[in-house]
Structure 1
């Protein structure tokens, strides 16, 4: 085979294999016809950041492909030959967002303040990280308030989800997450945890609704002065998506999200002892009868002459569920 003289010739040779062509198109989030048009010089990648995804989709040919691309697009790469493309969209948090967050923090009533700030931050985060709608989902897992007789935070719970348009099948489920989860580990360690290839890292649990789509993930603790309120989880449908520029950007968004929580929602690390949580199927089964259990508890309390508020009953039912012993993931019976 003659050595390709341009990146387009290289691409043309690779996509002769129709299965490989479809794989590359899927990983890049483009139509296979687009690859053909690039190869035949009918069109060029717009935006140039798509070239980054082409390199990421062909890791065995990375250095050769970078050199060939530079012949046509010399400014598409940094000076370091071993560096990856930097998506020009990934820069800083827009100054106008800081202003809107500060305004919401100062003026929105407390009952709506948390959701308002989360909504503002997460929408902008998704737009900035995924301008081409390749596939990004971001969720917030909050430390679950300890319930008597517990004195420690034993789990997190999903409280917010935002996603790009490409991930229409994903919905927030409000699952409990513990020491087995990626967000749980980020909270315990009080530092960001980035997994560039989830297929090679099975140590951490990602919410099941995201697993089939996820190829890489990052979790950032939401902290203030050494205390933690939860974690931000971001998954991408692309491997090796969390480049240094994106990591720095996400960290800034995590700092902004800390403004969504009250002072009493932050916990010292010594007061956080996450345990293993039941599988999502077990949680689904329990939550399906949650209201029924709450109503039964309210009726029993009424008959005893010791009435409860609904919130108190809900907390007792939740505490009973979270107190249930859980086997480690490797010991659980197959579902």
Structure 2
């Protein structure tokens, strides 16, 4: 690289233009002096190998662990690839590419393609899945419906179907999350104002049991659109300009499909399927998602379903702003149970939970209204 001497005190604006010639990155630097233009050249940088890029990525221990988990190798294996002491097997290449973050993806793909010329970008890969749910699985669901006690019924049916669904929809574990979203039951005579994630499963980069982390969704979400319109809705790329539907995007989510949970045209919530890559949820995926959503509707009681006229979804704040309201949830439920045990209204644990969730919903709606008022004040 040539080092240029620039007069001290000179006010400059610098622009870089990139071009690739014979696999060498040429960077042309334009230095514009106020009052006149002088063009300087020239910096040459060899294009970095994928091993060098990988070494930078796994320098962060958390990122190293995440990539290793998604590729299904040990972290030391990634270090050997980066150090050129070993090469990944063919089955590891697609997983490695799928594990790279969006910010580093394009550069990494171009470097990796030099060693693997037939490589296809992750978002262009067609992950073939069976368009049908296995017949024997329907038998398992019906048997569970018949033989499971009321106390365990909802959890058993949901876990059974979600586990089958994630294995069916993402057999290569390329990165998918499935969330079961329900309407938040209103007080008697009220309208449904929000939805809540109540169960879920995922493949890396998501954790296996993502249902442990709840969140409220409303009119700003893809789930909200599916519930209100009672039909399947999807966004194939979170970065597409002017999307038809709203979305409440979370980390790692690049595309999503939502399908309502229906019974006799009434709706109880929706099934949300998210992918870590854009354009991977095909028409076949959508058809399979619809069938699993119809199965999951069996887990809900008749009182969990609502006419669309009974639903009036409001805007909910981003998940990051909701977390604070969940921190003492268990404590609040226990306190509500204690009141019932000491002369107050007797409640089951489920009733106490639903009561506190309604209070949290109201707190979040008030929070969102306050935030919106502040925005409007400065317009």
Name the TM-score, length of structure 2 as normaliser.
0.61
Q: Give the equivalent residue in structure 1 for 2:269.
A: 230
Which residue pairs with 2:292 in the alignment? 253
SS at match of 1:200: coil
Question: How many Å apart are 1:331 and its aligned residue?
Answer: 3.2
Residue deviations 1:280-334, cap 9 Å, x none? 344322232345555666778899x7x1234566555443443343537983769
Alignment of 1:223-302 (within 5 A): 223-293=262-332
Check whether the contact 1:232–1:254 (CA below 8 A) recurs between aligned residues: yes
Unaligned runs of 5+ in 1: 3-13, 37-41, 59-64, 73-83
From 102, 126, 129, the equivalent of 2:169 is 129
Residue number in structure 2 paired with 1:331: 372
Q: Aligned pair in 2 of structure 1 residues 297, 122: CA closer, same or farther (>3 Å)?
A: closer
The answer to whether the aligner puts 1:308 opposite 2:308 as a matched pair is no
Aligned equivalents of 1:313, 1:115: Cα separation in 2: 18
Q: Which residue of 2 aligns with 1:204?
A: 247
1:270 Cα offset (Å): 1.0
- Aligned partners of 2:174, 2:166: CA distance in 1, in Å? 11
Match of 2:140 among 100, 118, 133: 100
For 1:224 and 1:15, the matched residues in 2 are separated by 56
Q: Quote the residue 2:181 is aligned against.
A: 141
State the structure with bigger RCO (CA 8 A, min sep 6), 1 or 2.
1
Q: Secondary structure at the match of 2:292?
A: helix
CA RMSD of aligned residues (A): 4.5
TM-score, normalised relative to structure 1: 0.68
- SS in structure 1 at match of 2:199: strand
State the alpha-carbon separation in 1 of the partners of residues 339 and 88 from structure 2.
Answer: 71
Corresponding residue for 2:190?
151
**Structure 1 residue 100: Cα displacement:** 0.4
Q: Is the 8 A contact 1:86 1:245 kept in 2?
A: no
The gaps in structure 2 that reach 5 residues or longer are 1-20, 23-46, 58-66, 82-86, 99-104, 107-112, 119-123
Q: Which residue of 1 aligns with 2:5?
A: none
For residues 336 and 157 of structure 2, the distance between their equivalents in structure 1, rounded to whole angstroms, comes to 35
Matched, 1:109 2:149: yes
The answer to which structure has the higher strand fraction is 2
C-alpha distance in structure 2 between counterparts of 1:238 and 1:286, whole Å: 31
Q: Deviations over 1:258-290 (max 9, x none)?
A: 111122211111111111224434432223234
Q: Is the 8 A contact 1:276 1:326 kept in 2?
A: no
How far is the alpha carbon of 1:200 from its aligned partner?
3.0
Corresponding residue SS for 1:327: helix
Asked if structure 2 preserves the Cα contact closer than 8 Å seen for 1:147 and 1:315, the reply is no
Could you say what secondary structure the match of 1:251 adopts? helix
Between the two proteins, the alignment pairs up a number of residues equal to 294
- State the secondary structure of the residue aligned to 2:212: coil
Residue 217 of structure 1 aligns to a residue in which SS?
strand
- Quick one: distance in 1 between partners of 2:371 and 2:331? 32
Q: Partner of 2:228 in structure 1?
A: 188
Classify the secondary structure of the residue corresponding to 1:160. strand
Q: Is the 8 A contact 2:340 2:346 kept in 1?
A: no
- Displacement of 1:46 in angstroms is 5.7
Inter-partner Cα distance in structure 2 for 1:234 and 1:120: 16
